[in-house]
Amino acid sequence: MITDKGKPMTADLGNIERLVEEIAASGTGKLILVHGGGSFGHTVAEQFKIAEGHRSDDQIIGFARTHQAMATLSNIIVDAMLSHGIPAVSLAPSSFIGTNNGRITKVELKVINWAIEKKLVPVLYGDAVMDDARGFSILSGDQLAVYLAVQLKASQLLFGVDVDGVYTANPRLAGSRLIERLTPDKMEGLVDIGRALTTDVTGGMYGKVSEAVAAVESGIEVLIVNASKPGVILKALRGEPVTGTLVAR
């Protein structure tokens, strides 16, 4: 919802403005924002097969373009946050995070901790990063959000998506129904949940729920809500009841 997925490198400025207004109005204290790539990062990363690792030097320019696309989107978001008095600062994951076969292995957490201690709002994103096994890879914003929630002992992890939560099948198909509460043991067999309708190199809804298991196992409740509907993020940040999927034990 922060980009127009039908138009490469196109931010949805209206939705970004609305979401930032809701964050500002929520009065939330300590907050870390992690956003995805939408029509910015995913499009370029897929074109150059960055997630598959370094196989050809023709991909080098693709790595650089993927990172730059994500940095560009992040700057748009940070600009909007600053205009509403939120002391946001964009932190490039590729500068202090490394992976091995696509999974996080190295994070300089003091970068995040310093920002929080200074009452800044760190803004991170899915990024093209160095990878010990592949040379480089794509770090998804979902994996990053869960990792940080666990390591920093977050009270809650909130995922904003463009549907009301997790469904029994693709929510655009007839017969699918919203799952209001999902436990890790109920995930088996839900292979159809949230299949991406557009290019997403990091797994779509199923990827989000799969990553969320680690947070749930650490005692963190994960709430998946529809950020495209006005007021939902505001209510969720305030702890008010909202339609969505609660992933918990």
Write down the pLDDT at residue 195.
47
Write down the pLDDT at residue 204.
74
**pLDDT per residue of the chain (249 residues) written in tens, 0 to 9:** 899 988 999 999 999 999 999 999 999 889 999 999 999 998 899 999 999 999 999 999 999 999 999 999 999 999 999 999 999 999 999 999 999 999 999 999 999 999 999 999 999 999 999 999 999 999 999 999 999 999 999 999 999 999 999 888 777 778 888 999 998 777 655 554 544 434 444 457 888 888 999 999 999 999 999 999 999 999 999 999 999 999 998
Q: Letter for the amino acid at 90?
A: S
Write down the pLDDT at residue 196.
40
Q: Go through the chain and tell me how many residues it has.
A: 249
Q: Does the model's pTM come out above 0.85?
A: yes
Looking up tokens 């150059």 gives: 48
Fold of the CATH domain 13-247: Carbamate kinase (3.40.1160)
Write down the pLDDT at residue 231.
98
Write down the pLDDT at residue 176.
84
Looking up tokens 């002391």 gives: 87
**Domains of the chain by residue range:** 13-247
183 close to 246: Cβ distance less than 8 angstroms: no
3 close to 10: Cβ distance less than 8 angstroms: yes
CA 152 from chain center: how many Å? Answer: 17
